[in-house]
Amino acid sequence: MKKNINIDVHHLTRVEGHGNIKVNVTEGKIEECKWEVPEAPRFFEAMVRGRHYTEVARITSRICGICSVGHTLASVKATENALGIEVTPQTKILRNILKHAENFDSHVVHVGVLVAPDLLGAPSVFPLVATHGDVVKLVLKLKRLGHEWGSLIGGRTTHPTTVVPGGFSRIPTEADIKLVKEKILENVEGIHALAATVASLAPKIPAFDRPTEYMALHSDEEYGLYDGCIQTIMPDGTKEKYDVQNYKSVTNEWVSPNSTAKYTKNKLSSYAAGALARFNNNYDQLHPEAKKLAEVLGMKPVCGNPYLNSAAQVVEIAHSAYEAIRLIDELLEVGIKDEELVAPTKFSTGAGATEVPRGILFHEYTYDENGICQGGNCIIPTNQNHANIQDDFDKIVPELLEAEKTEEEMTLALEMLVRAYDPCISCSTHYLDVTFVK
Amino acid sequence: MSKPKVGFFDFASCEGCQIELTNYGDAPFLELLNHIDIVEFREAMSEKADHLDIACIEGSFTREADRARLESIRARADIVIAYGACAATGGINGLKNHQEDYKKFVYGKDADMPHLDTQKAMPISAAIKVDYSVHGCPMDKYEFLDIVSHLVHGKEPVIPNHPVCMECKLNETICRYQEGDHCMGVVARAGCNAPCPADGIPCEACRGFVDNPNEKALKKVLMENGGLSEYRAENKSRMFTATLRSDA
């Protein structure tokens, strides 16, 4: 039967920022199938002009309240590259523990508050307080852990205070670090309980397969998160590495005549960033406990089901908890020293990258001889995923039509697909939002 | 007010103030839900409501196209709270207000596209009547509880109008100026308990100015005591207080 379908989801709920889904099928023929981004532009790259290098991360942190730790870290790393600053090993390890806190924290919100309602058949987390009180309590408890863990190192988790170019403005004490470890250990059981809950709901995660190019940071020393080079993995498993300073040649921002958001691409028409991209690139370096969870969730690299990004987040929740404990032990063994900030040695242009919960993030700045910023460029993961979401739409909509899904079922499938990417549209520093007359 | 119906809305912002709501921990948050009924919250829920006792609005008013949405929220809410710095003062978004070429700088040849037609970032009070403000970037989640608690009990919330310096003195935090740094705490609205100077960084006045700030003295102190160049001293207060400057 030739079907008519009209899906128009204006301001999709349970995502950060504003996005629309539009699908129009007339007598079985797809007329329109679009992922749109109508967020108000905020012009951060222009805002940093004229500001002193000590202020820049404090400004660009405000790009996103959910991944403000990551924006701060990418920003100070870019500034440090531009200013010829090499931070100390202690700074790197502390920032790494802080980065793990953010990924843990954000993944808990995404899996527990934004995705869980879809899997449990509720419109939001609030009705779950009555029906699944234990799950809600557990999620709030783990969220609090992420917040305390990050705050003990970064001062706070929404717009951290202590992370500055050259090091830390206030170095956490050994007691702080021990407390972080203690709090994580108290919650290990809860982390496994959350993973078990998601595993029990895994049959509700749609089966869909569209392997793409996956981009993430890679480090030889650990599962790439705070630092590393750019790496991509293709559906056949071939990997290629790139220097962060050449990020523009890997992201290749472009404007599609058929779409609303600014797209990126590397080897294919789109690539994916995020937990699944990290999992596919760096699976071998996951903590053994996280690998065990991946097995329970039935995940192996290269995994081509974008819906499983949420499952990859669960794997990373465990990885971050266990890795943070390992890093804290490493730090406590040598002891925490009081260190001065490392001073600039030059003023030039530099880029920095870090993995935020939603994927690889790039910042770049240019400074004049007085340390005043001349301009910046930020490429955020959600923008890098827009083209990939559109390509997923182009494959899944015909499949859903073929399977004779109702309009309601299709809407849920598409909403869940976008949500799986955990888009953080408020992050979007620049994109193009054009409505085309058909 | 018996168990008010509360909604959360967002405009140009980072949504970090909304995220702060998830940071209370399980017991305090579930207790909060015993006193307020969250009925609409796009970032977290798919449900919608008609009438609201309290609407919490995050984000700045940056484009005329958003006026109608703000007005419709105002029309169905008894009380509107400007939720966080972007809504209360324009916040960080005002940092571009003095620039003429910001669109061109970010978007180049696409700068004139209609969807980029933004105006100066303004507090939401530029479009609708605001009853109360929770200041700060991010807003202080305990101050928010305090304000909601006052409203639930039918009391007027007290919004501080003294400078951050007072809080540093009470906390025995060494003054940033004593450390060879600069600071906006001399004119910044207190109420956050001054976490930034305690963490070794200057106050950036994210909660806005106290009423009637002495801007001339601020510039002088930033230069003479803080060692800033005239250029930096002049521009320092554009970061979070651009819309409150006398030249705004």
CB pair distance less than 8 Å for A137 and B91: no
- Give me the pLDDT at residue A436, please: 27
| DSSP notation for A94-133 | HHHHHHHHHHHHHHHHIIIIIIHHHHHT-SBSTTHHHHSH
Q: Determine contact: A436 vs chain B, CB below 8 A.
A: no
Contact by Cβ (8 Å): B22, A113: yes
- Find the mean pLDDT for residues B59-86: 95
Q: What is the ipTM of this complex?
A: 0.95
pLDDT at B106: 75
Dump the DSSP string for A259-312: -SSEE--SSSS-EE-SHHHHHHHHGGGS-HHHHHHHHHTT--SSP--GGGHHHH
As given in the structure block, the two tokens for residue B19 are: 């995220």
Residue numbers in chain A where pLDDT is lower than 70:
1-2, 13-18, 38-41, 256-261, 425-438
Cis peptide before A160 (omega within 30 of 0): no
Condensed to tens digits (0 to 9), the pLDDT of residues A118-177 reads 888 888 888 899 999 999 999 999 999 999 999 999 999 999 999 999 999 999 999 999
Instruction: Give per-residue pLDDT as tens, A20-32.
Output: 888 888 888 888 8
Whether residue A144 lies within 8 A of chain B, CB to CB, comes out as yes
When CB atoms are compared, the residue of B19, B46, B200 closest to A13 is B46
Once rounded to an integer, what is the mean pLDDT over residues B167-176? 98
- Which candidate, A227, A244, A226, A236, places its Cα nearest to that of A267? A236
A5-9/A20-26 β-pairing: antiparallel
Is the minimum CB–CB distance between A121 and chain B shorter than 8 Å? Answer: no
Mutate to test the interface with A, among B67, B115, B117, B183 (most CBs of A within 10 A): B115
pLDDT of residue A40: 63
Question: Which residue of chain A is at minimal alpha-carbon distance from B25?
Answer: A144
Separation between Cα atoms, residue A303 and residue A282, nearest integer Å:
12
Q: Say whether residue A345 is in contact with chain B using an 8 A CB cutoff.
A: no
Q: Tally the residues of chain B.
A: 248
User: Nearest CB to B25: which of A58, A66, A144?
Assistant: A144
pLDDT, residue A426, reads 53
pTM over 0.90: yes
| Torsional class of A166: left (φ above 0), alpha (ψ -120 to 50), beta (otherwise) | left
Answer whether A140 sits within 8 Å of B33, measured CB to CB: no
Cβ pair A124:B47 closer than 8 A: yes
Tokens of B166: 């007072």
Sign of CA pseudo-dihedral B215, B220, B226, B229: positive
Rounded to the nearest angstrom, the minimum Cα separation between B160 and chain A is: 22
Residues A280-319: pLDDT tens digits? 999 999 999 999 999 999 999 999 999 999 999 999 999 9
Determine the distance in angstroms separating the CA of A368 from the nearest CA of chain B, rounded to an integer. Answer: 14
